[in-house]
Structure 1
Amino acid sequence: MTVLVGWILALGMVVVVPLGLRLLGDDRQRLGAVGQVWPFAGLLGGLSLLLDRGDTFAVVLACCYAAVAAWLAVLALSRLPRRRSLAPVEVAVLTAMVSPTIAASSLIAERGGWELLGFGMTTQLLTVAHFHYAGFAAALVAGLTASRAPSPSSSVAALTVPAGIALVFLGYFTGDGVELAGAVVLTAGMWLLGWTVWRDVAPSARSRPTRALFAVSAAVLAATMLLALSWAAGQVWDAVPHLSLTWMAATHGLANALGFAVCGLLAWRRLQRAGDTPATNVMSG
């Protein structure tokens, strides 16, 4: 595991998920507690990455992180009977809430040096990253966008982002062709999400820095998802040019982590602090 990949994964656990949970924190009784605990759990998960693979203490730290992620997944399951809805916003929010559990499970296996379900260490690291940034951050932003700016495009994005995430994950089990189909669906959903944020959400923010953060988050997707699409196509057809995994981490991974996820969630947080929040009756538990 490269140092850069480790930093990207730690950023997802320590910064991205806690920041996103604040945006879902209108229901204080249910999400407030897990949101308060998560920064500490994320720190433990991040520390596990500093230890050697196979170290027992690294596995223990990863398990601590997984326990809090499972707590969030239980809250997602308990949300279903209360909301009684599978509207696009709900699909996106539920995807965001369960994704860290999948990431944490893969983290435990990778830290222990175990081939979970036959997957190697590289695939497991990709799973950790995929379900923190696409699974959690992108699905959450899709839900927030569909809540704040209801439209056909935001609703489609709130469905295609989770569908693309699921197809990419299914492709790990079934083959590169399914993973490519997932990359196509996810790329289409992310591009549509970026366009909707640029067109409908960013102009509505009163603060210029907030508008700038939204603009950066939306614009980054144009390039990063093209890289993801070319990489997935390159696994199916050798003739398709694509970057190596090392360069994908340095470009697609880093830009999505900082440019899309951090900038985007900071922009939504600024809206929340300004009192200009998404519809709380939709985003609360």
Structure 2
Amino acid sequence: MWVLVDLVVTLGMLVIVPAGLRLMDDPGLTAIRRLWPLFAVPGAVCLWLPRGAPAGALAACYALGTVLLALHAPRRLLRTRSAAPAEIAVMTALTAPSVAALSLVAERLGHRLFGFGTDILALTVPHFHFAGFAAALVAGLVCRAVDRPAARFAALSVPLGTLLVLLGYFLDDWAELAGALVLTAGMWAVALLTWRDVTARCHDRTTRLLLAVSSAVLVATMLLALSWALGEATGLPHPSLAWMAATHGLGNALGFALCSVLAWRRLEETEAPRGRPHPDHQAHQPPQTRQTQWKTEETPA
């Protein structure tokens, strides 16, 4: 199981996070995007070393990069002066890797953190790369692209659900179940809106396929997350951690996160020439302008 977990985390560090940062289209992140390999490569290497000081030092290098990301969140807030749901989702994405990195440093050093053993810490790392960073980012992108209450609900519930799951670690299994319910509701809203709205506006077949796969995978993987959280809280039979890593974890990493960032990147490259504004550009335009643009897209020629 742990080899699979380390592979998933490596994918998150080296592919998902840098690709997601490019999707934010934030000039303030330019320097961090360029420097990211200097943080991510040591972070990925530390996963394959025995626990100890060398692995902990490499994990600390990665943690430094995630701290720079987290510090950018308040600067972004000051620049945009917006607490819109999409902005909350993006700022969640910026801060989530730092939670993962803190757990990674402690786990690689072989130390307990806040009373949690190394196994829980090791599983926290992929959770906050994918449920924290990737899911929040995609929810924010969907919210910017789709002007619906469901999109705003998704952009708020994914960060809230992620936070509640984290609090559940410190409280009890029922609190973690509540977080899983909120997170699942948000992710299913992302899946529905991606399938019904974003895919419908896309003209490229490959992009449509990537979006469809990411939507379908979310339905299955979040159902697994719910079954596991329910079993932990009630004692009912539920999948083992090894099974969850092989299904929920791998599915979210490859089927959802990777397909999503590839699809949104292709949307940026293939749809923009058709006159479709990038979702992040719309966030800084007046609401009336954004609505007019989408209305123009949907009007038959």
Alignment of 1:82-101 (within 5 A): 82-101=79-98
- Alignment match, 2:17: 17
**Code of the aligned partner of 2:86:** V
Counterpart-to-counterpart distance in 1, 2:280 and 2:141: 9
Cα distance in 2, alignment partners of residues 283 and 197 from structure 1 = 22
> Counterpart amino acid of 1:49?
L
* 2:249 equivalent among 234, 246, 253: 253
| Amino acid across the alignment from 1:271 | L
Does the residue aligned with 1:116 lie in a helix, a strand or coil? coil
Q: Which amino acid is the alignment partner of residue 279 of structure 2?
A: P
Amino acid aligned to 2:26: D
Match of 1:271 among 261, 267, 273: 267
Give the drift of 1:217.
0.3
Match of 2:239 in 1: 243
Q: 2: distance between equivalents of 1:186 and 1:38? A: 28
**Cα distance between partner residues in 2 of 1:159 and 1:34:** 26
4+ residue runs of structure 1 moved beyond 6 angstroms? none
Aligned counterparts of 1:282 and 1:62: Cα–Cα separation in 2: 34
Determine whether 1:34 maps to 2:35.
no
**Preserved contact between residue 217 and residue 263 of structure 1 (Cα < 8 Å):** yes
Q: In the alignment, does 2:106 pair up with 1:109? A: yes
Q: Where does the alignment leave 5 or more consecutive residues of structure 1 unmatched?
A: none
* Identical aligned residues as a percent: 55
Q: What is the correspondence of 1:157-196 to structure 2 with a 5 Å cutoff?
A: 157-196=154-193
State the alpha-carbon separation in 2 of the partners of residues 248 and 178 from structure 1.
20
Query: Please, what TM-score do these two structures have when normalized by structure 1?
Result: 0.95
One-letter identity of the residue aligned with 1:259: G
Task: Give the secondary structure class of the aligned counterpart of 2:79.
Answer: helix
Gaps of 5+ in 2: 286-301
**Aligned: 1:145 with 2:146:** no
| Aligned equivalents of 1:206, 1:34: Cα separation in 2 | 32
Shift of 1:282: 2.1
SS in 2 for 1:166: helix
Deviations 1:236-274 (A, max 9, x none): 1112x3110001000000000000000011000001122
Separation in 1, partners of 2:179, 2:282: 31
Give the stretch that moved more between structures: 174-183 or 268-277: 268-277
2:42 aligns to what? 44
Taking a change above 3 Å as real, the CA distance of residues 281 and 104 of structure 1, as seen in their structure-2 partners, is same
With over 3 angstroms needed to count, the CA separation of the structure-2 counterparts of 1:197 and 1:283, relative to structure 1, is farther
Deviations 1:126-150 (A, max 9, x none): 2111110010000000000000112
Matched-pair contact (CA < 8 Å) for 1:15–1:39: no
Shift in Å, 1:83: 1.7
Asked if the contact 1:133/1:256 (under 8 Å) is kept, the reply is yes
Does structure 1 residue 199 correspond to structure 2 residue 196? yes
Deviates most, 8-17 or 274-283: 274-283
Displacement of 1:87 in angstroms is 1.0
Post-superposition CA distance 1:40-66 (Å, at most 9, x none): 321211100010012x11111111111
Deviation at 1:281, TM superposition (A): 4.6
Structure 1 residues 71 and 279, CA gap change in structure 2 (3 angstroms):
closer
Could you tell me how far 1:202 is from its partner in structure 2?
Answer: 1.0
Contact 1:144–1:283 (CA<8 Å) still a contact in 2?
Answer: no
What TM-score, normalized to structure 2?
0.90
Q: Which residue of 2 aligns with 1:219?
A: 216
Opposite residue 155 of structure 1, the aligned amino acid is R
Number of equivalent positions: 280
Separation in 1, partners of 2:193, 2:32: 30
After superposition, where does 1:125-136 map in structure 2 within 5 Å? 125-136=122-133
Q: CA deviation at 1:27?
A: 2.9
